[in-house]
Chains A and B, each alone.
Chain A
Amino acid sequence: MSSDLDVVERLRTDPAPAMHVALADVLAEGRRRHTRRMASRLAIVVAGAAAAAVVAVVVLGPDDRGTTTPPVGTTSSTAKDLSISGEAGTELPDDHGSYSVVVDAGNLHAWVTRDLDKESSTVVLPSGAAWVKLPGTQDVPVLLGVVPAGATDIDLVPAPGTRSHTVQTVQSGDFEAFVVRFDEPLADGQLTGVDLQWRQGGRTVVALGTDPQRVEFDVAGAGRLAVSMSSPRAGAVTATLDGAPLGPEPVVGDTPGTRYSVGKHALADGRVLVWGVIPQLSSVTPVTKPGASAGAAATRPLGEHPAYLAYAAIVDGSASDVTGIRTVDRSGAGIGQAE
């Protein structure tokens, strides 16, 4: 290969595999999404079976709104099944475009319509609330999400460092969509710890990032593992092994069906505990270098309404021998691998 020009020529001329995209499929899917957005804008499409979301929440007294940040871990609750099903969507106008949310089968999908590749999804909490952070105009992020229909006075839970902001809402079938805009750019991570509150039925309700999904189980030969993850932040997962903290480990992936995390912990006996979370209805296998071997992974649902499974597996080998995990869904299709 004599020159850069030769390399460039090969980039342009080397034979490629036969690849094909059906333009008819592109047009059909494009029209489908366009129709969905337009229908949402004009009215609201709610599937017939969409029952009202039952609200399970921390309930503060009617008069104590805004007086304090609710205690962590007191969420409790009364409520049960979240029955948002089918699909509902709406748009919130912005000076330079709009924000769209769609609730579909218990998942919130949100995106900026001026820049459709900026999409984010998360799981709707038992409280009926969900929110995600998306880029807004002028590099100022926004929080975009939903709370159950009938909610009023939606706002952030007051917290030190919370910047000046405005909240705009749009009623949409069995939920209320909202967007929180900040008046100035925020430092990275400043929205990580945001909780949300609203008024409903004469009470103040707090939807909590501090509404953790958690499970404990024994890992043979390693100890008792407790795995916790907060939603909808779901940015990281933490754990303890016999009380000793592990993590936090980032949760990666774009949608609830593809998000996972991987943590490695060297055990005293020289083996490695591989732990983390994977989507529900999936399975996981540690991937190791030759010479190391992984035992079968144990999985447990992460909480009462799990979108994730906690998993743990023991690897005979060092931490550097563990190169990642292989995760497959129920059909056997690979959905992710770390490292």
Chain B
Amino acid sequence: MKPSEEAAFEQFAAHAMPRLLRTAWLLTGDPTRAEDVVQESLVRMFGVWPRVGHDEPEAYCHRILRNLVVSTWRKDRRLVLVDHVRDDVDPRSQVDPGRRATDDAGTRLDLVRALQELPAREREVVVLRHYADLSERAVAELLGVSIGTVKSSASRGLERLRALISDKGEAHVQ
């Protein structure tokens, strides 16, 4: 890789990393696994950077990340069935710039647990569409489904998530 390409990758990675980390955390519910998945995603992105670096690299990297997350779900389903929420909150580090940290650890727990209660497809659509800000078409292509399915999954997912979060403290995942 040319030095200029590597510099561009480094700039991309530094910029995209907070969003990738939060996406991975929302999908997995496990910050440690999120770190692992993001690191591997970026390493793989490095390998294809000369070819894909100029064509929506963040969407491409999200695609790699999502595939890795699904792979870990298949490999170790146990990890989505237990509570791995860490206490070392650093709101400044991962909340997007300009956005505010609004809640305490208890509500964080509710949000993460509630997400893990969603069916995998709905969880992916909600996170990729409404957090990662991928377009409906991009999400559809990434998941291999129709745009209509993305819309309906997003709607159902948000509705379910709202109900779960409203039911404070009852979103148990055992």
Contact residues of A between 17 and 71, Cβ < 8 Å to B = 17-23, 25-27, 29-31, 33-34, 37
Asked if B107 is an interface residue, CB under 8 A from chain A, the answer is: yes
Contact: B47 with A15, CB < 8 Å? no
Contact: A326 with B78, CB < 8 Å? yes
Contact: A17 with B47, CB < 8 Å? no
CB distance from A34 to the nearest CB of B (A): 6
Contact residues of A between 176 and 209, Cβ < 8 Å to B = none
Dominant secondary structure of chain A at its interface with chain B = mixed
Asked if A295 is an interface residue, CB under 8 A from chain B, the answer is: no
Contact: A34 with B103, CB < 8 Å? no
Contact: B71 with A254, CB < 8 Å? yes
Contact: B78 with A18, CB < 8 Å? no
Asked if A93 is an interface residue, CB under 8 A from chain B, the answer is: no
Contact: A17 with B78, CB < 8 Å? no
In the complex, A22 Cα to B46 Cα: how many Å? 14
Size bin of chain B's contact surface:
35 or more
Asked if A269 is an interface residue, CB under 8 A from chain B, the answer is: no
In the complex, A16 Cα to B13 Cα: how many Å? 19
Asked if A338 is an interface residue, CB under 8 A from chain B, the answer is: yes
Contact: B43 with A33, CB < 8 Å? yes
Interface size on A, residues (CB 8 A): 47
Asked if B153 is an interface residue, CB under 8 A from chain A, the answer is: no
Contact: B91 with A27, CB < 8 Å? no
A-B contact pairs, 20 of them (CB 8 A): A1-B166, A7-B165, A8-B131, A10-B165, A12-B99, A13-B96, A13-B100, A14-B101, A15-B94, A16-B21, A17-B94, A18-B86, A20-B93, A21-B38, A30-B47, A37-B47, A116-B47, A252-B74, A258-B75, A336-B75
Binding site for B on A (CB under 8 A): 1, 3-4, 6-23, 25-27, 29-31, 33-34, 37, 113-117, 252-254, 258, 324, 326, 334-339
Other A-B pairs beyond A1-B166, A8-B130, A12-B131, 12, CB < 8 Å: A8-B131, A12-B95, A16-B91, A16-B95, A23-B13, A33-B46, A34-B46, A114-B51, A117-B64, A252-B75, A253-B74, A336-B76
Q: Lowest 8 A-B CB distances belong to which pairs?
A: A30-B46, A18-B90, A337-B78, A16-B94, A15-B91, A17-B31, A17-B86, A4-B158
